[in-house]
Amino acid sequence: MSSIKEIIQNLRKELSEHNYNYYVLDEATISDYEFDVKLKELQALEAQHPEFYDANSPTLRVGGEVTKNFNTIVHNHRMYSLDNSYSLEDLKDWEARIRKLIDGEIQYTCELKYDGASISLTYENGSLVRAVTRGDGFQGDEVTANIKTIKTVPLKLKGEYPEKFDIRGEIILPFDGFNKMNEERVANGEEPYRNPRNTASGSLKLQDSAEVAKRPLECLLYNLTGDNLGIESQFNSLEKARAMGFKVPEAAKLTNSIDEVFEFINHWDKARHDLPYETDGVVVKVNSLFQQEELGYTSKAPRWAMAYKFKAEQVSTKLNSISYQVGRTGAITPVANLEPVELAGTTVKRASLHNADQIEKLDIRVNDEVFVEKGGEIIPKIIAVDLSQRPQDSEATEYISKCPVCETELVRIEGEAKHYCPNYNGCDPQVIGRIQHYISRKAMDIEGLGGETVALLVKEDLVSNYSDLYELTVEQLLPLDRMAEKSAENLVNGVEASKKIPFESVLFALGIRFVGETVAKKLAKHYKNIDALANASIEDLEQVDEIGIKIAESVVAFFAVEANVKIIERLKAFGVQLEISADVLANQTNKLEGLTFVVSGVFETVSRNELKKLIEDNGGKNASSISSKTSYVIAGDKMGPSKKEKAEKLGVTLISEKEFFDKFLI
Ligand code: AMP
Ligand code: ZN
């Protein structure tokens, strides 16, 4: 019989191995289901046996640790910048310079330049102990809790490794994951993120590591530093890092001359467009570490490396017209309609203009010859106007003042870049967009009804808001274009079935601005029914865990609109779930109402997340840091001494896990 400790250790090892196969090697060796089962098993064992706690257990990948202030850490070795070159000529000059400084043959390692946020990871005895951002190169912010959630970062190393070393890499967000995140944001009525790079670097400084865990970030490694690492060359160090379990892209190549470097560059200048993530150039490094040492550093960059920046692909073409799109929230987006032109392998016909300020800043006018670039952004953008070709009779662009669809006067809220059409209930794209959101999979999940049919139903005046869906009949639908008896029945049945969708999804489906899936869940759980939510004040709402002023104001504004209240009354009459179901309620009480807890450390009978859930389910509130408003700190094992000190200073009572259960829940 193996001991519990061995079982736990074996599970950790096995799960880490599957993680590695899946995320680093891209080869799944277990089904998602089996993985989940094993992970749950490990979670349960760890909860029962906190004495075997391990800060690098795969169960901690889901995050949960919240960092209010990131500690500043001085790098063990400075994180230098790189010198840039923009032409093959520049690179030749660089080669000539280093030839003067060293004798003998020079080999070069060529790597892609990954476009994300740089990170330095410190490992000791095979375990990740710290992750620090580049900062100013001398010191950065410690973001370990966030980095641990990134599945391509090994928490424990494989094979042989030096006792202590740093490894540098880049945190990136592949296009696929970036697009998915944006789809979700748009579905929640939020502005999409502009580009993967900024989103990746912004993610590192999120306070809640569970949020980071949800983002499909990756870590690509390119440099080992430390003393006595037993490596002689850059290329060799990449191979070593790979063997330890790090993700080191296979593109890296050892070359024997500057001409081979040029070949590498020419190849990737095209091939990079097929990569799943953004690269903005190539980094050429003298391969021998001995030669690197001889060359040394300038005040800001190594002499032994040079970045070659790809030219962002750019073309010029004519701007034929500007059109304006209206989104489901009423936000107006100007779009440039271009004379079709080839750019980075695709035909570009449209480019984003973002907002009125952007048009004014670049002084973009119809009939201008404009430069279009495809950078980190997915949609190409206009970066400048070729003024030499501007027609004589050209006139400055006047931004629209009325909605292009319903002609309502547009409004611009102070501090926001976009114009809005305020005709909430009478502007087709808004009406249609809201119903499309209502029926979508994560909302009411109405089968048998698609986005185009919604548009048709609105155009034919059969529905004007989502509550009208519940009165549709087969007879009404049949005369519609391409609507067979069977599809009409499916549609009506699909609508009927949506009456069973739980309250939290209904709340999301209503399309209240900034109320995405998670926020909807929080609000549903806290208020339990729509009337309580509708009556909540801004101050009330702000008391709910993780609800800020922006969301609070948006909720209050929604219920202040008479038409919305009427629609909700109708939904209620049709039998849509507007309160939390009995099963969910059965596990909830108000025992902890008015109390705020801070949960800290490791617990014996429950995990930290379970404890937090218990607090919420019983009407209490979780806070992430101790303040004078804290009622109790539930102190587990390994609670930090600074927290203890703070609690004592503020006179907040510390209670143990057992005391918590005895006092409040039994
Ligand atoms: P720069 O920010 O232009 O000074 O370029 C230096 C940055 O390039 C480094 O801080 C790294 O984050 C990043 N980088 C991306 N890929 C590589 C690579 N393969 N080797 C070295 N640095 C890289
Ligand atoms: Zn409008």
The residues that bridge with 118 in the sheet, in sequence order, are 170
Is residue 111 lining ligand 1, measured as CB closer than 6 Å?
Answer: yes
Ligand 1 touching residue 238 (CB < 6 A): no
Other Cβ atoms within 10 Å of 431 Cβ, number: 22
Q: Is 283 in the pocket of ligand 1 (CB under 6 A)?
A: yes
Q: Are residues 222 and 252 in the same domain?
A: yes
Q: Residue 2 and residue 626: Cα distance in Å, rounded?
A: 41
Task: Report the alpha-carbon distance of residue 542 to residue 552 in Å, rounded.
Answer: 6
Q: Which atom of ligand 1 is nearest to the CA of 84?
A: 3
| CB of 109 sitting under 6 A from ligand 1 | no
In the three-class reduction of DSSP (H, G, I as helix; E, B as strand; rest coil), residue 580 is classed as coil
Range in 309-313, 410-414, 517-521, 586-590 the model is least confident about: 586-590
- The rounded Å distance from CA 399 to ligand 2 centre is 15
- Domain identity same for 103 and 175: yes
What pLDDT score was predicted for residue 347? 84
| Same domain (yes/no): 602, 468 | no
Res. 245: pLDDT tops 60: yes
* Average pLDDT over the chain, rounded to an integer: 91
User: CATH number of the domain that 521 lies in?
Assistant: 1.10.150.20
Compute, in angstroms, the gap from residue 395 CA to the centroid of ligand 1: 44
Q: Which residue, judged by its Cα, is nearest atom 5 of ligand 1? A: 82
Is the confidence at residue 431, as pLDDT, over 80? yes
Q: What's phi and psi for 342, nearest 5 deg? A: -80, 135
CATH number at residue 28: 1.10.287.610
What CATH number is attached to the domain comprising 359?
2.40.50.140
Residue 546 lies in a domain: yes
What would you measure as the largest C-alpha separation in the chain, in angstroms?
A: 89
Q: Is residue 600 lining ligand 1, measured as CB closer than 6 Å?
A: no
Domain end among 254, 278, 309: 309
Residue 1 has pLDDT above 70, yes or no: no
- The question of whether 40 is a catalytic residue gets the answer no
Q: Do residues 460 and 363 share a domain?
A: no
- pLDDT at site 345: 67
Number of domains in the chain: 6
- Same-domain status, 602 and 490: no
Domain annotation covers residue 405: no
- For the residues 90-119, what does the mean pLDDT come to? 94
In a domain, 284, yes or no: yes
- Decide: 253 in ligand 1 pocket, CB within 6 A: no
Which of 191-200, 396-405, 616-625, 655-664 is predicted with the least confidence, judged by mean pLDDT?
616-625
Say yes or no to pLDDT of 605 above 90: no
Strand, helix or coil for residue 590 = coil
Q: Is the pLDDT of residue 476 over 60?
A: yes
Going by C-alpha positions, the residue among 609, 486, 586, 462 that lies closest to residue 528 is 586
Contact 285, 146 (CB under 8 A): no
End-to-end, the C-alpha distance of the chain in Å comes to: 36
Query: Are 136 and 281 members of one domain?
Result: yes
Q: Which atom of ligand 1 is nearest the CA belonging to 285?
A: 20
Angle at 534 between CA 419 and CA 563, to 5 degrees: 55
CA atoms within 13 A on the CB side of 25: 14
**Assigned domain for 520 exists:** yes
In terms of domains, do 470 and 513 share one? no
Backbone phi, psi, residue 488, to 5°:
-65, -40
The Cα–Cα gap between 21 and 15 comes to 10
Structural domain contains residue 419:
no
Nearest by Cα to 82 from 114, 56, 126, 105: 114
According to DSSP, residue 408 is labeled P
Distance 461 CA to ligand 2 centre (A): 17
Give domain status of residue 418, yes or no: no
81 lines ligand 1 (CB under 6 A): yes
Q: Helix 196-204 vs helix 175-187: angle between axes, to the nearest 10 degrees?
A: 80
* Atom 23 of ligand 1: nearest residue by CA position: 113
Q: Encode pLDDT of 519-534 as tens digits.
A: 898 899 889 999 999 9
Looking at residue 260, its pLDDT comes to: 96
Mutate to test the pocket of ligand 1, among 283, 286, 287, 300 (most ligand atoms within 8 A of CB): 283
Half-sphere exposure of 537 (CA within 13 A, CB side): 2
Q: What is the 3-state secondary structure (H, E, C) of 172-238?
A: ECCHHHHHHHHHHHHHCCCCCCCCHHHHHHHHHCCCEHHHHHHCCCEEEEEEEECCCCCCCEHHHHH
Q: Please check whether residues 464 and 514 belong to one and the same domain.
A: no
Q: Is 588 close to ligand 1, i.e. is its CB under 6 Å away? A: no
Residues 396, 405 contacting (CB under 8 angstroms):
no
* Residue where one domain finishes, among candidates 468, 500, 532: 500
What's the CATH number where 641 sits? 3.40.50.10190
Domain C-terminal end among 475, 500, 525: 500
> Is 222 near ligand 1, meaning CB less than 6 Å away?
yes
The pairing of strands 305-309 and 108-114 is unpaired
Active-site position among 13, 38, 68, 113: 113
State in Å: Cα 128 to ligand 1 middle: 22
Q: What is the rounded distance in angstroms from the CA atom of residue 226 to the CA atom of residue 120? A: 12
Smallest CA separation from ligand 1 atom 2, residue: 81
Domain co-membership, 480 together with 524: no
pLDDT over threshold 80, residue 344: no
517 and 496 part of one domain:
no
- Give the CATH number for residue 91: 3.30.470.30
Question: Residue 16: helix, strand or coil by DSSP?
Answer: helix
Q: Strands 164-172 and 117-124, how do they pair?
A: antiparallel
Q: Does any ligand 1 atom lie closer than 6 A to the CB of residue 82?
A: yes
Structure tokens at 147: 């980095």
Residue 67 within any structural domain of the chain: no
Of ligand 1's atoms, which has the minimum distance to the CA of residue 80? 10
Q: Of all residues in the chain, what percent carry a pLDDT higher than 90?
A: 64
CA-wise closest residue to 373 among 336, 329, 408: 336
Report which of 116, 123, 127, 223 is spatially closest to residue 174, judged by C-alpha positions: 116
Per-residue confidence at 148, pLDDT binned at 50, 70, 90?
very high
Cα(114) to ligand 1 centroid in Å equals 7
Residues whose CB is less than 8 angstroms from the CB of residue 665 and which lie 6 or more positions away in sequence, other chains included: 591, 614, 618
User: Per-residue pLDDT averaged across 36-41, rounded?
Assistant: 90
Spacing, Cα 117 to ligand 1 middle (Å) = 9
Residues 442, 514: contact at Cβ < 8 Å? no
- Judge if 490 and 512 occupy the same domain: no
Chain center to CA of 304:
35
pLDDT at 361 over 60: yes
Supply the residue whose CA is at minimum distance from atom 16 of ligand 1.
113
Using CA positions, which residue lies closest to atom 22 of ligand 1?
A: 113
Nearest residue (CA) to ligand 1, atom 4: 81
Whether residue 579 has its Cβ less than 6 Å from ligand 1: no
- Which phi-psi region, left, alpha or beta, contains residue 125 (left: φ > 0; alpha: ψ -120 to 50)? left
Separation of 23 CA from ligand 2 center, angstroms?
A: 45
277: in domain: yes
Which-ligand-closest: CA of 422?
2
Q: Cα of 421 to ligand 2 centre, how many Å?
A: 5
Q: Ligand 1: which residue has its CA nearest to atom 18?
A: 113
Q: Is the CB of 466 inside a 6 Å radius of any atom of ligand 1?
A: no
CA proximity to 305, closest of 453, 452, 168: 168
pTM: 0.64
Model pLDDT, residue 417: 85
Q: Is 504 in the pocket of ligand 1 (CB under 6 A)?
A: no
Domain that includes residue 474, residue range: 428-500
Alpha carbon of 554 to those of 252, 428, 548, 583: distances in Å? 49, 21, 10, 29
What's the average model confidence in pLDDT over 599-620?
83
CB 116 within 8 A of CB 201: yes
Based on the fold, state whether residues 256 and 171 are members of the same structural domain: yes
Q: State percent of the chain over pLDDT 70.
A: 99
pLDDT at residue 266 greater than cutoff 90:
yes
Q: Which two tokens stand for residue 323?
A: 């059109």
- Number of Cβ within 10 Å of residue 228's Cβ equals 9
**Closest to 245 measured CA to CA, from 357, 340, 138, 126:** 126
From atom 17 of ligand 1, which residue's Cα is the shortest distance away?
113
CB of 134 sitting under 6 A from ligand 1: yes
**pLDDT (mean) for 405-410:** 96
Whether residue 613 has pLDDT greater than 60: yes
Find the mean pLDDT for residues 6-24.
Answer: 92
Contact 305, 286 (CB under 8 A): yes
Residue 376 banded pLDDT, cuts 50, 70, 90: low
Compute the distance from residue 9 Cα to the ligand 1 centre, in Å: 37
60: nearest Cα among 150, 152, 165, 124: 150
* 345 Cα–ligand 2 center, Å: 36
pLDDT of 346 over the 80 cut: no
Q: What is the pLDDT of residues 543-577, one digit of tens each?
A: 887 788 889 999 999 999 999 999 999 999 999 99
Number of the ligand 1 atom closest to the C-alpha atom of 170: 12
pLDDT of residue 375: 64
Quote the pLDDT of residue 143: 96
Is residue 650 within 8 A of residue 626, CB to CB? The reply is yes
Distance 90 CA to ligand 1 centre (A): 18
- Of the listed ligands, the closest to the CA of 220 is 1
Q: State if residue 141 touches ligand 1 by the CB under 6 angstroms criterion.
A: no
Nearest ligand 1 atom to the CA of 81 is 4
CB distance 170 to ligand 1 below 6 Å: yes
Query: Best substitution site from 110, 113, 221 to test ligand 1's pocket, by max atoms within 8 Å of Cβ?
Result: 113
Measured from the CA of 111, which atom of ligand 1 is nearest?
19
